[in-house]
């Protein structure tokens, strides 16, 4: 799917590929081979630059050709039911427009209309840094969501005897692992961009004014902050999983101990009544008082056994 936008006073105005203007933004989500060929021919970008976003490893990197600059970063995606992942986001900077390529929709990128207020596609470098800053903010929001979800699961785990909550924590820990790898790779890309500022070869691709410098510094700070948080929460979550695995086993042991106590209490009346139901001659067998005596003896024995088990914390 291809979408073309350009900033104006009320947000992002939708254009078409045929009416491509300078300063526009071409956003491509899982494009077909025909769409890739059409855009590549229209803007003069190598077709292989579009396919980096479909690689499974999707390693963040910076590539340069004669007519454009390609920057690949990882961005977070939420897949529902405590599952988080990252996908590559390819940003291609050309003299006339900015191109983004993803294999699926992501909340990092702005939408058309009023949702695009604050983004300026006419300044490609400024717009590029805005996307990086938005990616860092999205990482922080997702990390905070994982932290809150972890607290909710923790309260359930205190009373749980099943593995369902542990599996959910495992999904969250997996998401934090993906985030850690992505943020570390993005940090390397940001370091490359910082070094590019001092290089005359790359300076023409990233001409920055004072405002762009400030945004880049904010992007670096947000990325490092997100990396520190995700590493901290990842360690906490890993420790929690080990601790609550022991808690679940301990809760199960308490239940088994309670059931064993109940079994003892139930077996006492059964044992006493079995003595009086033997085929041999037993005292008071043919009398009415014998039945009440057996019942009273069974209840008394069970009560005494219950008090003993209660004292031993088995009930």
Judge residue 23's burial from the number of C-beta atoms within 10 Å of its C-beta, 0-12 exposed, 13-18 middle, 19 or more buried. Answer: middle
Sign of CA dihedral 140, 141, 145, 146: negative
The architecture CATH gives domain 2-249: 2-Layer Sandwich (3.30)
| Long-range Cβ pairs for the range 168-173 (8 Å, 24+) | 168/82, 169/237, 169/240, 169/241, 169/244, 170/241, 171/81, 171/82, 171/83, 171/84, 172/82, 172/84, 172/146, 172/237, 173/234, 173/237, 173/238, 173/241
Tens digits of residue pLDDT in 172-215: 889 999 999 999 999 999 988 888 777 766 667 677 788 888 88
Q: What separation in angstroms does the CA of 168 have from each of 161, 162, 237?
A: 14, 12, 11
* Domain span(s) for CATH 3.30.460.20 in the chain: 2-249
Say how far residue 153 (Cα) sits from the centre of its chain: 14
Tens digits of residue pLDDT in 226-277: 999 998 988 888 887 777 767 777 777 878 888 888 888 888 888 777 776 6
pTM to 2 decimal places: 0.76
Judge residue 241's burial from the number of C-beta atoms within 10 Å of its C-beta, 0-12 exposed, 13-18 middle, 19 or more buried. Answer: middle
Mean pLDDT of all residues in 36-46: 83
- What is the CB-side half-sphere exposure of residue 310 using CA atoms within 13 A? 6
């Amino acid at each position: 799917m291809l979408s073309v936008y350009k900033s104006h006073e009320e947000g992002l105005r939708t254009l078409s590929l045929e009416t491509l203007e300078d300063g526009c933004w071409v956003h491509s989500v899982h494009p077909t081979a025909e769409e890739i060929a059409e855009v590549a021919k229209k803007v003069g970008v190598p077709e292989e630059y579009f396919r980096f976003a479909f690689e499974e490893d999707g390693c963040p990197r910076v590539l340069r050709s004669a007519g454009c600059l390609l920057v690949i970063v990882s961005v977070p995606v939420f897949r529902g039911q405590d599952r988080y992942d990252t996908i590559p986001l390819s940003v291609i900077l050309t003299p006339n427009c900015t191109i983004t390529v993803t294999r699926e929709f992501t909340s990092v990128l702005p939408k058309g209309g009023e949702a695009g207020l604050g983004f300026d596609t006419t300044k490609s470098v400024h717009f590029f840094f805005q996307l990086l800053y938005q990616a860092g903010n999205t990482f922080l929001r997702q990390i905070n969501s994982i932290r809150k979800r972890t607290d909710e699961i923790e309260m359930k785990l205190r009373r749980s005897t099943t593995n369902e909550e542990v599996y959910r924590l495992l999904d969250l820990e997996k998401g934090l692992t993906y985030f850690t790898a992505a943020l570390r790779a993005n940090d390397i890309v940001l370091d490359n961009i910082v070094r590019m500022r001092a290089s005359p070869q790359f300076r023409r691709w990233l001409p920055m004014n004072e405002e762009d410098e400030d945004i880049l510094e904010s992007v670096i700070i947000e990325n490092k902050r997100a990396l520190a948080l995700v590493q901290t929460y990842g360690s906490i979550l890993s420790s929690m999983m080990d601790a609550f695995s022991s808690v679940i086993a301990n809760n199960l042991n308490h239940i088994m101990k309670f059931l064993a106590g109940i079994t003892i209490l139930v077996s006492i009346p059964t044992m006493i009544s079995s003595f009086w139901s033997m085929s041999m001659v037993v005292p008071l067998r043919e009398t009415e008082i014998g039945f009440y005596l057996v019942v009273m003896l069974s209840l008394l024995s069970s009560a005494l056994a219950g008090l003993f088990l209660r004292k031993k914390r088995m009930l």
